[in-house]
Structure 1
Amino acid sequence: MTAFSAFFEQLRGVGSDPRFCKVRGTVRFDIRDGDRVEQWLLDIDHGRLRVTRGADPAGTVITTSAEVADVMARGELNGLAAIMRGEILVDGDLGLALRIGRLFPVPPAAQRQAVPHRGGK
């Protein structure tokens, strides 16, 4: 099982996330590995998360390689940076795609930056 598949299997069990209480939409992830495409559908309804597999239509489609998806699922890649470099393509609601980034682990460098400095002057 890939890191990305494991991430979505874990997310499937979450059920809800209060950070998305005002969000409603569907996002499909198309993960390309050569000629093969793995597809995951995330349906968000005011905080309720439902994860399924398949090619159902979605308001937002995120496409990337299996390699990039796995690195992101392990928390080793910032999704916004990957979008800016063209490693992740977004078709649909970019704002929703960026919000989805909150579900992924935070890269270690970003965690260090988020910790406030407690030193003296």
Structure 2
Amino acid sequence: MSATSAFFERLTVACRDPRFSKVRGSVRFDIRDGGHLEQWLLDIDHGRMRVTRSGGPATTVIQVSSQVAEAMARGEVNGLAAITRGDIMVDGDLALALRIGRLFPREPGPPQRDDPDSGA
């Protein structure tokens, strides 16, 4: 399973996120890999989340390559930075697209000093 699919599967299982208790809208992810298009639709209703593999209408559409989507799902790419670079195109509610960034894992940082595996 790809990191992107695993990310959306986790959202499906979670069903609810209190950080989105005041949010209502939908975001469709159009993920391109060459000529192949994969679409995921995330509906948010006051913290309740529903994920489907659908190309239906959405408040916000995020267009991204499969490579960038995979890197985001692994926490290796910051969504705002990717938008700024033009790696992600947003059509619709930009504020909602930026809020969705909270769902993705954070970028890995340097090891903590008290981490026994860091060698410090």
The normalised TM-score by structure 1 is 0.89
Q: CA RMSD in A?
A: 1.5
Unaligned segments of structure 2, at least 5 residues:
113-120
Which one-letter code corresponds to 2:30 in the other structure?
Answer: D
Query: Which residue in the other structure is 2:38 paired with?
Result: 38
Deviation (angstroms), 1:109: 3.4
**Which deviates more, 63-72 or 103-112?**
103-112
Which one-letter code corresponds to 2:26 in the other structure?
Answer: T
Over residues 20-76 of structure 1, what are the superposed CA-to-partner deviations in whole Å (9 max), with x where a residue is unaligned? 000000000000000000000000000000000011010100000000000000000
Which one-letter code corresponds to 1:34 in the other structure?
Answer: G
Unaligned segments of structure 1, at least 5 residues:
113-121
**Which deviates more, 102-111 or 44-53?**
102-111
Query: Which residue in the other structure is 1:56 paired with?
Result: 56
Q: Percent identity?
A: 69
CA distance change for structure 1 residues 4 and 111 in 2, over 3 Å: closer, same or farther? Answer: farther
Are 2:79 and 1:99 aligned?
A: no
Q: Distance in 1 between matches of 2:24 and 2:83?
A: 22
Query: Which residue in the other structure is 1:18 paired with?
Result: 18
Query: Which residue in the other structure is 1:81 paired with?
Result: 81
Aligned length: 112
CA distance change for structure 1 residues 111 and 27 in 2, over 3 Å: closer, same or farther? Answer: farther
Which one-letter code corresponds to 2:22 in the other structure?
Answer: K
For residue 109 of structure 2, give the secondary structure of its aligned residue in structure 1.
Answer: helix
Deviation (angstroms), 1:8: 0.3
Deviation (angstroms), 1:108: 1.7
CA distance change for structure 1 residues 110 and 44 in 2, over 3 Å: closer, same or farther? Answer: farther
For residue 108 of structure 1, give the secondary structure of its aligned residue in structure 2.
Answer: coil
